Structure 1
Amino acid sequence: MKPWLTFGWIAALRFLAEGWMQTMFILGGIAVGVGVIIFMAAMLASVQTNYTNRVLTWQPQIQLQPPDEVARPLRRSTGEIEAAAVQRPAQRNRPLDQWQTILVGMRARPDVVIATPSVSGSALAVRGDASRSISVLGMEPEDYFRIVRLPDYMVAGTSVIGTDDILIGVNLAEDMGAETGDKLKVNAADGTLRTLTIKGVFDVGNRGANERNTYVAFRTAQSLFNLVGGVTDIDITVRDVNAAENVAQEIEALLPVKAESWIKNNFQFFTAIRAQTISSLLIRSLVGLSVAFGIAAVLVVSVLQRSKDIGILRAMGSSRGQVLRIFLIQGGVLGFLGSIIGSVLGGLALVLWHRYARQPNGEEFFPLIVRPSLFLWSSLLATLTGIFAGTVPALRAANLNPVEAIRG
C-alpha cells in the first residue's frame, strides 16, 4: 500500500466509486461551473486589457501641466473688494515652471517608468481651400514613442521625423485630401506659420484622435508656439496603470502642477470597466456557490445512504476524526477532478470562440489573453470549495451514533 493511501483515502475513493453515477453527475456540474468561471475571467481580462491598451495608444498615463490661472478680485487700497464677481480667465498656452527640476524628480520616482517633456497647443492646418483645427504635439521620439507607441499604428510613411516634418491621422489626411510627401501649412493662434511635410499617416483606432492629433519634432513645436526653452507638459508612464490616478493626486499635492491621469480623462470608460469587473465577480461567485451546494448535497445523500457503513466503521474502532476525513477527502477529490475537467472545457471554449467568433470583415474581435495562473487558481479554488462544502456532511457523519446508525 502506498504511504499516502491511508484508511481515509481508501474509504473515500471506494465510496465515490460505488456511487459512480452520483459522482459523474457532480463532476459534470463542477466541470461546467469551473469552465464558465475560466471562460468569463479570461474573456473579461482580454476585453479590459485590450480596451485599456487601445485607450492608452494615443495618450500618456499621466500628464503634468501648468496649474490653471485663477483671477482674484480687485481690492481698494483700504483692503475692500472692488468687484465681488470674478470671471474665470481664459487659459493661455503657458510653459511649465522649472520643468527640468520636475522632470528629474519624476524620473527618480520608483513608481514612474518613463517621463518625457512635450510641447502642445492648438493650431489651424491649411492645405489649399481645406482647413481643420488640430492639436499639435512636439516630442522627443526616443522617449515619447515608449509611452505612445505611434510607430505601431503607422499606415503610410514613417514615424521618423525631422524639424520640417509632421505626422497626421488617417481621418485628417482624408479630410485634407493629403498623403505622405504633401505640404501642410500649420498656423498657430498668435499667427506663427510653419509649412511642414507630411512624413507619415497613423491610425490609432479612434476617430477623434485621427482627426485632430498631429505630431512634430520637439524643437519645431517650441518654435511654432514661441516657447523656446520651455515645455507645456511632462508625459509619464507608471508601473501600475490602474494606480495612475493615485500617483497623479500624490504628484499634484507635492508640486505646483496640474496632474491629469488617463483614468480621470476617461472616467466613463474606467467606470464601465469597474462595473464589468464587479458584475463578472458576482456571476462567478454565484456559480461557485452553486457548485458548493451541489457538492454538499451529494455528500449529504452519501452520508444518509452509508449511515450503516459509517456505524460499522465507528463500532470497529474508527475515530470521529477518521470518519470526518473520509468526507472531507471526498469533497476535495470531487472539487479537484471537476476543476481539471472544467479547465479543459474552459480552455477549449476559449479556443473555439477565438477561432470562430469574428467581425464582419473576418478579423478577430480582440487578441485573447489567457494566463496559466487562471487555471491554477481555479483548480485550487474548486478544491478548497469542495473541502469546505464537505464540512457539514462530514461533521454529520462523524457525529452519528454507531448503534443507531447500524439499526438504521
Structure 2
Amino acid sequence: MKRWLTFAWIAALRFLAEGRMQTGFILSGIAIGVGVIVFMSAMLTSVQTNFTNRVLTSQPQIQIVPPDEVARPLRLHDDGVIEAAIVQRPTQRILSVDQWQTILATMRSRQDVVIASPTVSGSALAVRGDASRSISILGMEPDDYFRIVRVPDYITVGDSSLGSDDILVGVDLANDLGATVGDKLNVTTAAGGSRILTIQGIFDLGSKGANERNTYVALRTAQSLLDLIGGVTTIDLTVTDVYAAETVAQDIQATLPIEADSWIKTNAQFFTAISAQNLSSTLIRLFVGLSVAFGIAAVLVVSVLQRSKDIGILRAMGSSRGQILRIFLIQGGVLGFLGSLVGSVLGAAALLVWHRYARQANGSELFPLVIEPSLFLSSAALATLTGVVAGIVPALRAASLDPVEAIRG
C-alpha cells in the first residue's frame, strides 16, 4: 500500500504511529467532541421535527378569514365636520368570507397551495342530561379538511366518519359530559340553531384545552347551527413549503380583500423557542469545535518540538518546505477524520441508548428519533477541516526550521 502513498503521507502516518499515546489521547478528545455535536444536533433536530409535526397536523398552515369590521366616525354631509369622533371597536359577528367560492377556486389553482378546504366555526353549548359545556364547533368537508388537520390520527374511540347528524368530540369533553361513542348531545348556538347530534368518535389532540372545547361536524351541519347557510367563515390551506407560509399569506392578503394568517404568525412563541434552541446548538458546536482545534494544535506543536531533529534530517536529505508543511497538515486532517468516525459512532450509540431508556410516564417514547445521514457526513467534514486548520501553525513552524539548527537541537 505504501507505494501508492506520497512521501508526505508515509511520513505523516509514521509520525502518528510512533506517538501512539499522544495520538490516542487526541483521538479520544476529538471523538468525545464530535460525539457531543452529533448527539446534541440529532436530539434537537428530533425535538424540533416532532414539535413542528405536532403544530402542522393540528392546525392549517394558512387560514383565510374575512376582514374585521371597523367602526368609522360619523361626518356631516355639508361641511365635513366630525359628528362622532370617538368610536368603539364593534363586536365581531360571525361573518362569511365574501365570494368564498371564487376565492376557494383561486386558492386551489395556485401552484404553491396544496390543499384548500372551506370551514365554518363558532361557539355553541353541548348538553347531555344535567351536564352542559361550552364548545367550539368546526364544520368542514372531511375529505379535504382531514388532509390538513389529521384528526383521524388522534381518534381513540370510534371513527372519524361524519354524517349530517354526527359529531367528533375531545376525550376531556366526553369525560365532562359522561358520554361515549353512540351517545346523543343537544347542541345549541346563540344564533338559535339546535340539533341532536350523535358522538361518532372521540379524539385526543394532546392538549386539555383543545380536548375540552374542540368539536367537528359536517360543513352543512355547522352552517345550519350557526345560521350561515351557504357561507363559510374560513378557508384553510396547506402549502408546498411550510416555512414559506408567511410569505404566501402576505401575497394572498395583498391580492384579495381578505385576511390571511399563517401558522408562523400564530405560533410566534414556538419560533422564538426554536431560534433559541438553534442558537444554543450553534454555540455548543462552536465551543466544542474550538476545544478540538486547540487539542489538535497542541499535540502537533509538541510533535514538532519532539521531532525537530527528524525534521532537520528530512530537510538535509532534500525534503522541501512544502513536503514538511504537508506532513503536519496531513496529520491534522487524519486525526480529525479518524476522530470524527469514532465520535459519530459514539454519538449514534448514545442517541439510541438515550432514546431507548428516556420514556414518558406512560412508557411511550418522548418523541420519534430523527437521525439524518447528512449529520454524520457534515461532522466528518467539519472535524477533518478543523484538523487541517489546527495543523497550519505547527506545520508552518516545522517548515520554517533550519536543518542545521534542528539537527543540533
- Report if TM-score (shorter chain) is over 0.5: yes
User: Is residue 350 of structure 1 aligned with residue 347 of structure 2?
Assistant: no
User: Is residue 167 of structure 1 aligned with residue 164 of structure 2?
Assistant: no
User: Is residue 322 of structure 1 aligned with residue 348 of structure 2?
Assistant: no
Which amino acid is the alignment partner of residue 101 of structure 1? Answer: T
Residues of 2 paired with 1:18 and 1:276: CA distance?
Answer: 43
SS at match of 2:83: coil
| 8 Å Cα contact 1:38/1:375 also seen in 2 | yes
Q: Which residue of 2 aligns with 1:65?
A: 65
Q: Which residue of 2 aligns with 1:28?
A: 28
Identity %: 75
Q: Which residue of 1 aligns with 2:83?
A: 82
| 8 Å Cα contact 2:191/2:225 also seen in 1 | no
Q: Which residue of 2 aligns with 1:403?
A: 404
Once the two structures are overlaid, the 10-residue window that deviates more, 362-371 or 246-255, is: 246-255
User: Is residue 376 of structure 1 aligned with residue 387 of structure 2?
Assistant: no
| 8 Å Cα contact 2:2/2:10 also seen in 1 | no
Residues of 2 paired with 1:133 and 1:194: CA distance?
Answer: 15
| CA shift digits 1:77-135 (9 cap, x unpaired) | 12111122111111111111122232233223333222211111111112222221111
| CA shift digits 1:366-399 (9 cap, x unpaired) | 1211112111111111111111111111122122
Residues of 2 paired with 1:4 and 1:95: CA distance?
Answer: 76
Residues of 2 paired with 1:107 and 1:315: CA distance?
Answer: 77
SS at match of 1:82: strand
Q: Which residue of 2 aligns with 1:367?
A: 368
Q: Which residue of 1 aligns with 2:215?
A: 214
Residues of 1 paired with 2:290 and 2:105: CA distance?
Answer: 52
Deviation of 1:205 (Å): 0.4
| 8 Å Cα contact 1:57/1:204 also seen in 2 | no
| CA shift digits 1:57-89 (9 cap, x unpaired) | 321121111111111111111211112211111
TM-score of the pair, normalised by structure 1: 0.96
Report the aligned-residue RMSD. Answer: 1.5
User: CA 1:223/1:29 → structure 2, altered by over 3 Å: closer, same or farther?
Assistant: same
Once the two structures are overlaid, the 10-residue window that deviates more, 345-354 or 317-326, is: 317-326
Deviation of 1:286 (Å): 0.8
Deviation of 1:405 (Å): 1.8
Which amino acid is the alignment partner of residue 240 of structure 1? Answer: D
Residues of 2 paired with 1:23 and 1:397: CA distance?
Answer: 18
Once the two structures are overlaid, the 10-residue window that deviates more, 262-271 or 153-162, is: 262-271
Deviation of 1:4 (Å): 4.4
**Structure 1, unaligned stretches of length 5 or more?**
none
User: CA 1:110/1:301 → structure 2, altered by over 3 Å: closer, same or farther?
Assistant: farther
User: CA 1:3/1:189 → structure 2, altered by over 3 Å: closer, same or farther?
Assistant: farther
The count of corresponding residues between Structure 1 and Structure 2 is 408
User: Is residue 300 of structure 1 aligned with residue 316 of structure 2?
Assistant: no
Q: Which residue of 2 aligns with 1:141?
A: 142
Residues of 1 paired with 2:218 and 2:264: CA distance?
Answer: 27
Runs of 4+ in 1 over 3 A off after TM superposition: 1-4
| 8 Å Cα contact 1:161/1:199 also seen in 2 | yes
| CA shift digits 1:160-203 (9 cap, x unpaired) | 11111010000010111111111111112211111111100000
| 8 Å Cα contact 2:167/2:201 also seen in 1 | yes
Q: Which residue of 2 aligns with 1:39?
A: 39
Once the two structures are overlaid, the 10-residue window that deviates more, 43-52 or 344-353, is: 43-52
SS at match of 1:53: helix
| CA shift digits 1:286-324 (9 cap, x unpaired) | 111111111111111111111121122222221221111
SS at match of 2:82: coil
SS at match of 1:279: helix
| 8 Å Cα contact 1:63/1:259 also seen in 2 | yes
User: CA 1:251/1:4 → structure 2, altered by over 3 Å: closer, same or farther?
Assistant: farther
Q: Which residue of 2 aligns with 1:200?
A: 201
| 8 Å Cα contact 1:156/1:201 also seen in 2 | yes
